[in-house]
Amino acid sequence: MFVRLSKTFRFEAAHDLPTFPADHKCRRLHGHSFRFDVIVEGEVDPAKGYLIDYGDIKKVADPIVKRLDHYYLNEIEGLSNPTSEVLAVWIWNQLKSELPQLTEIVVHETCTSTCTYRGR
């Protein structure tokens, strides 16, 4: 049986987007209540009855949340231009080696704006 699991994480952070035009609102320092979904896929182990323990996903993702929560994203290595797109790839790169079943990261910058990265 092939399944797809998703676990959501939240953090608060500030950023500015230095590549936007000087008069654009996103160029100014501002913050978001970010959310990101970690999505894994694979075959369920018939002996266990599950793909992966949600707790194992949390164990891998929690250090990333701590690294981002209540920080200025532009100051974190690799996030000098922390668009949703760059952030999604950055999170993917932090998780992929410890979470081989990872297939997708979805960053929710606002309630209505998301970015999906599938590792391509």
Rounded-to-integer distance, Cα 57 and Cα 38, Å: 8
Q: Along the 120 residues of the chain, how does pLDDT read in single tens digits? A: 999 999 999 999 999 999 999 999 999 999 999 999 999 999 999 999 999 999 999 999 999 999 999 999 999 999 999 999 999 999 999 999 999 999 999 999 999 999 999 998
- Total number of residues shown for the chain: 120
Query: Collapsing DSSP states into helix, strand and coil, what is residue 89?
Result: helix
User: What 3-state DSSP class applies to 43?
Assistant: strand
What residues are labeled active site? Answer: 26, 70, 109
pLDDT of residue 55: 98
Pairing mode of beta strands 102-108, 114-117: antiparallel
Topology of domain 2-117 in CATH is Tetrahydropterin Synthase; Chain A (3.30.479)
Going 50 to 88 to 99 to 59, the CA torsion angle's sign is negative
What DSSP string runs through 12-25?
Answer: EEEE--TTS-TTSG
Bridge partners, 31 (sequence order): 14
- The tokens for 101 are 């079943």
